[in-house]
Structure 1
Amino acid sequence: MEITNVETVQLQYEMEEPWGLSRDREVGTRTAAIVVIDTDAGITGIGEGVGPEPYIVERIVEEKYAPRLVGEDPLDIEFLWQTLLTDDLYWDQKGQGVAAASGVDIALWDIAGKYYEEPVYRLLGGDAGGNGQLKAYASDLFWTDTDTMADRAAEYIDRGFAGVKTHLGRGIDADEERVAAIRDAIGDAALMVDMNCGYDRPEAFRAGQMLEEYDVYWYEEPLSPYNVDGLADLRRKLDVPIATGENEYTKWGFRELFEAGAVDYAMPDTMRCGGITEANKICTLAESFGVVCSPHCYTTGVGLAATMHVMAASPATQWLEFDPTDFPLYESLFASSLEVSDGQVSLPTDPGLGVQLDGATVDRYRLD
């Protein structure tokens, strides 16, 4: 079997209301770069690379990586990973070169699963949890008025999710007002707080002390991802666990976090850190350091599926990040209906990732 073509499909969804993030930032669109790899056996693989700019991922995939891939055996996944990321004189250690390679790698695993007629997680070692499901938390509470955030959090708990995540980072007093309201609304359910790198070290410490009072489950990205020493310092001084890693790349980047003692919940993004191949290794590395992996995953259904397969195969993982909104590029991209019940998401059973590019959906949201 040989690779015959590699291309990227750019998708974009205009949100009805923009996300509110830390430091008064807002995001009004959701974009995606879907990597499609064809073979002479008639098997097509689908992957996703998170850049976040999809046009850059497309350029790297189609102009830099495609010439190296065409004619190669898509089942030689480890060889091709090395070809893309470690065979150059000047390596792409981090950034969008790795993100683009992540999309390629995920598509290769999709091909492998379809070739062997098995879900990808079975090729990675099978269902480590043994029950065919992953526990999920609802990840949607972006910054808005306090009552709306609290009401929405309560709705997700009523739908069966055991935890919710909110995005703060606009001043400790305003943050506390929302944390208090959400805690009151959800009772004893898990409350994760994401600061989206919104604070410097003194502010992050004061915010962390505040979060301790509300029994917050984890304190996500309080600092810039460059500030590994600062994250380690916060972890030593605070009782609330530190979660970080969505902006980190490869096993070498995560080794730095683990050796520094900078993280309790590691959050590799499969679509960014190096694909399924590398995310699987990061989970194994985390297990050896006694660190829990809760992968970052806020993307399309392709990325969700890839994340689920990685998590299913690792005993080091907990908490699937799940988008509970009506995002049209999410569940519609699964080949079979995604089963979500009482905060548990069932593993895909179709060969490969279990995803497909729905023609009508792609036509509607494709960027020309």
Structure 2
Amino acid sequence: MKITKVDVYMLDAGEQRWQRKPIICRIHTDEGIYGDGEAGIALGIGSTGAFGMVKDLAGLIIGMDPMNVEVIWNKMFKSSFWGMGGGAIVFAGISAIDIALWDIKGKVLGVPCYQLLGGKFRSKMRSYASQLQFGWCDRIGPYGKPEEYAEITQYALDQGYDAVKIDFTQIGPDATHLPKSECEGIPTRKFIDMVEARMKAVRDNCGWDFDMIVENHCRTDAISAVIIGELCDKYKAMALEEPTIPMNPMMHKAVHDKIKTPIASGERIFGRWHYMNNFMENNVQLLQPDVCNCGGLTEAKKICDMGQVFDVTVQAHCAGSPISTAAALHLEAAIPNFCIHEHHFRSTQPSLTVLCKYDYQPERGVYTVPELPGLGQEMSQFGMDTALMHVVVDRDERGL
């Protein structure tokens, strides 16, 4: 079997287009079997960079055997020159191709990807309702008032979730975006009071018998993160996510050393080499690798296994298209140190779910791992027909 061509798409997420442009590749073979993979840079700025990276990497794999997943991964990593330096764009490109290869391999062998990763530890996975500051399902935010945070939390709990995640720093009291500068350094009393009022409202109105992850999105630094971390201790948070910029792991440790709440991080770290320093210094307790940007299923499994050595538990970051959801579920099913699955607010919206063939959603806060061969997910015809960009790579354009 040989790889004959690679289609690269930038999908149109409709009303989410302002922030999400999923980058998907479809790898074709001479036996008619194809596989889909995603580059996890749909969120924020960088989608065109990821699109170009997948296109460039695709030229390296034309004519290769798609079953040789590790061989191809190492070729992309080492022959791309920039792969060995890491970085979001390069690793997102590697991830998309790698996931598509696992999809092909599963289809060839007639088994779900989790079987190829070693088999499943679980069929059902507890999930949490993520990013409630923006709303949940048909209740659309953003929210500014403390009572609104309590109301949207209760709305998710009433649907069967027993865990939620909220960024209490992202939206101001007037429900508009709060500048990052408000969250850094020694925060004002007004800022601290705003954050605590929201946490308190959630606990006072919704109770203490559910888990609450506090999301900071790297908006805080070590100084302000410690102050919010103390509130996390007070209001019994499950974890404090991305308290500082992850490029300096010592700052995560500085926060962890001063609070009891576990630190969650990993969605903006790429490749096992970048994770190692976080493990060695005990900087992260809830690991959040994104299968679509950390190096694909090949690398994500290695990262999670490495984390187990350091007693680190895992929740895959999952904020892309339904293909990223399927990839995360297969990984989480196949690792012993799974903690919980992220069900992102955006993943409940039709503008994303319409881009793929299947709409996997949790029931009463519990996900079921896909059982179809490969990923068990692929682009819909609608997704391909309405793509913002599409290119076909069928040869190595470098002439090598």
TM superposition score normalised by structure 1: 0.91
Q: 1:239 to 1:184 in 2, by over 3 A?
A: same
Secondary structure at 1:191's aligned position in 2?
strand
- 1:117 and 1:336 mapped to 2: Cα distance? 18
- 2:352 and 2:163 mapped to 1: Cα distance? 20
1:111 aligned to 83, 101, 104, which one?
104
Structure 2 unaligned spans of 5+: 134-141, 170-182, 184-190, 391-400
1:99 aligned to 87, 92, 97, which one?
92
Cα deviations by residue, 1:47-105 (Å, 9 ceiling, x for unpaired): 0002242221121121x212211000001000000000124555242220111110110
Secondary structure at 1:41's aligned position in 2?
coil
Cα deviations by residue, 1:121-146 (Å, 9 ceiling, x for unpaired): 011111112xx111100113135222
- 2:21 and 2:193 mapped to 1: Cα distance? 33
Report the counterpart of residue 216 of structure 2 in structure 1.
195
- 1:314 and 1:274 mapped to 2: Cα distance? 17
Percent of residue pairs identical: 30
| Maintained 8 Å contact 2:269/2:275 | yes
- 1:100 and 1:72 mapped to 2: Cα distance? 17
Greater relative CO, 1 or 2 (CA 8 Å, sep 6+): 2
Report the counterpart of residue 249 of structure 1 in structure 2.
270
- 1:222 and 1:47 mapped to 2: Cα distance? 30
Q: 1:156 to 1:367 in 2, by over 3 A?
A: farther
Report the counterpart of residue 187 of structure 2 in structure 1.
none
Matched, 1:134 2:125: yes
Amino acid in the other structure paired with 1:41: E
Secondary structure at 1:247's aligned position in 2?
coil
Normalized per residue, the structure richer in strand is: 1
Q: 1:302 to 1:185 in 2, by over 3 A?
A: farther
Amino acid in the other structure paired with 2:93: A
Matched, 1:292 2:313: yes
Matched, 1:179 2:199: yes
Q: 1:367 to 1:155 in 2, by over 3 A?
A: farther
Report the counterpart of residue 12 of structure 2 in structure 1.
12
Amino acid in the other structure paired with 2:132: L
TM superposition score normalised by structure 2: 0.84
| Maintained 8 Å contact 1:192/1:220 | yes
| Maintained 8 Å contact 2:11/2:355 | no
Report the counterpart of residue 22 of structure 1 in structure 2.
none
Matched, 1:217 2:219: no
Amino acid in the other structure paired with 2:376: G
Report the counterpart of residue 37 of structure 2 in structure 1.
47
| Maintained 8 Å contact 2:11/2:383 | no
- 2:285 and 2:367 mapped to 1: Cα distance? 24
1:35 aligned to 25, 33, 40, which one?
25
Secondary structure at 1:237's aligned position in 2?
coil
Report the counterpart of residue 143 of structure 2 in structure 1.
144
Secondary structure at 1:350's aligned position in 2?
coil
Q: CA RMSD in A?
A: 1.9
| Maintained 8 Å contact 2:218/2:244 | yes
Report the counterpart of residue 349 of structure 1 in structure 2.
371
Cα deviations by residue, 1:234-288 (Å, 9 ceiling, x for unpaired): 1121011110111001111111100011011011111110000000011100111
Secondary structure at 2:194's aligned position in 1?
helix
- 1:217 and 1:361 mapped to 2: Cα distance? 37
Q: 1:283 to 1:134 in 2, by over 3 A?
A: same
Report the counterpart of residue 153 of structure 2 in structure 1.
153
| Maintained 8 Å contact 1:118/1:352 | yes
Report the counterpart of residue 350 of structure 2 in structure 1.
328
Amino acid in the other structure paired with 2:19: T
- 1:366 and 1:166 mapped to 2: Cα distance? 31
Cα deviations by residue, 1:281-333 (Å, 9 ceiling, x for unpaired): 11100111111011111111000000000010001111100125532255445
Q: 1:80 to 1:220 in 2, by over 3 A?
A: same
- 1:268 and 1:202 mapped to 2: Cα distance? 25
Structure 1 unaligned spans of 5+: 17-26
